[in-house]
Amino acid sequence: MSREWTKQDLRDQSGKIVIVTGGNSGIGYEASKALAGNYATVVLAVRNVNKGREALDKIKYEFPNANIHVMKLDLNDLESVKEFSREFRGKFSSLSLLINNAGIMAPTQRITKDGFESQFGVNYLGHFALTGLLIDLIIKTPDSRVISVGSLAAHNTKPEFKNFKGTKKKVSLLQSYAQSKLACMFFAKELQYRFRAKNIDAKSVACHPGIVQTYLFGKGSGKLNKRFTRASLKLIGQSAELGAYPLLYAATEHSIRGGEYIGPDGRKGIKGFPTELEILDELFDEHVSNNLWILSEKLTGVTYKF
Ligand SMILES: NC(=O)c1ccc[n+]([C@@H]2O[C@H](COP(=O)([O-])OP(=O)(O)OC[C@H]3O[C@@H](n4cnc5c(N)ncnc54)[C@H](OP(=O)(O)O)[C@@H]3O)[C@@H](O)[C@H]2O)c1
């Protein structure tokens, strides 16, 4: 990127059907608002429908003609992911953008309903299953994209996707978070590789928001609910609106080819404007990624039908 990209650069999104997981809060909310404000039809896929409706009302207050829907999706429970996919198919026949944004960090609940380490389960496996269950709609929709949200936390970690049951006592909550985010980033590259191998027009792109002042570090995340963390975030982080820029750039920019990793261009990637990063190519391991895919199909029971 040679100049600063902002939401003013967002083009008209008319005709696009978009799903934003965790669209009620933080980065997902800001992205949903920007896309709905630019005429996309946006589905807020949320675990708490009341919170979803509140977000819908807020967006409608700003953009009265916005076309927004709220649908229940609990990534902590694979049955809920299946139910969401069934319900979505009943309402829509295409899917232009699947934004796999929802996430938890250092939660108090350690295991998902299906028995996975909860960050690996919610942040990664739930999205793996969701994408697989909707893949035919994504493939048949022209110019569609799948966006995966990574994290700076994954930049200094090595792929060790072995603690998916959360049984290894020596692995800390934050290490598990980093692994779950690295899995999302590997998934984005692997999906793009598989699209290309099958000559599929859809694109898969990863991004990370930098460090952002959201509930991730607060309410939603038991262990890190500390005044100190929130104060430091205010000091070093950026707003959720700016944190949504890499995601919006990955989701809408015409120059995107698929397989990129987009993040803020500022010092240490903490804040700034969207730019393409090389770090994911450095971290990526084809063999590990392919094994992770096979494992994920086995764990979720969702097989991708390309
Ligand atoms: N904030 C940062 O500095 C930062 C840095 C790197 C990456 N990220 C990533 O950015 C993404 C968005 O996070 P955020 O910072 O915007 O935090 P946030 O405000 O806490 O938003 C997280 C969203 O995920 C939803 N969610 C949590 N568990 C879910 C589940 N089981 N099923 C469905 N939805 C669920 C939350 O729903 P509720 O509102 O009901 O809790 C909320 O809507 C996450 O993937 C996070 O890992 C954030």
Q: Which atom of ligand 1 is nearest to the CA of 177?
A: 47
- Residue 209 CB less than 6 A away from ligand 1: yes
Q: Distance between CA 75 and CA 84 in Å, rounded?
A: 10
What is the C-alpha to C-alpha distance for residues 132 and 297, in angstroms, rounded to an integer? 9
Nearest to 116 by CA among 70, 77, 62: 77
75 CB less than 6 Å from ligand 1?
A: yes
Question: Does ligand 1 come within 6 angstroms of the Cβ of 216?
Answer: yes
Contacts of 170 (CB under 8 A, 6+ apart): none
d(CA 26, ligand 1 centre) in Å = 7
User: 12-209+243-300: which CATH number, 3.40.50.720, 2.40.50.100, 3.40.50.1820, 1.10.760.10?
Assistant: 3.40.50.720
Length of the chain: 306
Determine the pLDDT at residue 217. 77
Ligand 1 proximity of 264 Cβ (cutoff 6 Å): no
Single out the residue of 163, 202, 203, 201 nearest to residue 182, CA to CA: 163
Distance CA 287, CA 79 (A): 30
Pocket residue to mutate for ligand 1, from 216, 234, 242, most atoms within 8 A of Cβ: 216
Ligand 1 centroid–CA 197 distance in Å is 32
How far apart are alpha carbons 93 and 240 in whole angstroms? Answer: 31
Q: Domain-by-domain residue ranges, the chain?
A: 12-209+243-300
- pLDDT string in tens for the chain (306-residue length): 447 999 999 999 999 999 999 999 999 999 999 999 999 999 999 999 999 999 999 999 999 999 999 999 999 999 999 999 999 999 999 999 999 999 999 998 889 999 999 999 999 999 999 999 999 999 999 999 999 999 999 999 999 998 888 888 788 999 999 999 999 999 999 999 999 999 999 999 999 999 998 888 765 445 555 566 666 777 788 999 999 999 999 999 999 999 999 999 999 999 999 999 999 999 999 999 999 999 999 999 999 998
Q: Which of 21, 27, 79, 229 to mutate to test the pocket of ligand 1 (most atoms within 8 A of CB)?
A: 27
Contacts of 229 (CB under 8 A, 6+ apart): 217, 218
Q: Decide whether any atom of ligand 1 lies within 6 Å of the 28 Cβ.
A: yes
Note the pLDDT of residue 219: 53
Ligand 1, atom nearest to 48 Cα = 40
Own/partner contacts of 237-240, CB < 8 Å, gap of 24 or more, are 237/210, 237/211, 237/212, 237/213, 237/270, 237/271, 238/210, 238/211, 238/212, 238/213, 238/264, 238/270, 238/271, 238/272, 239/212, 239/213, 240/26, 240/27, 240/29, 240/30, 240/212, 240/213, 240/214
Spacing of C-alpha 41 from chain mean position: 18
Q: Are strands 261-264 and 274-276 parallel, antiparallel or unpaired?
A: antiparallel
Would you please indicate which residues are annotated as catalytic (active-site) residues? 177
Distance from the CA of 17 to the center of ligand 1, in angstroms? Answer: 21
The structure tokens listed for 290 are 């392919």
CA–centroid distance, 198 to ligand 1, in Å, is 32
The answer to whether residues 129 and 113 touch, using CB atoms and an 8 Å cutoff, is: no
Whose Cα sits closest to atom 37 in ligand 1? 22
Structure token pair of residue 158: 């090595």
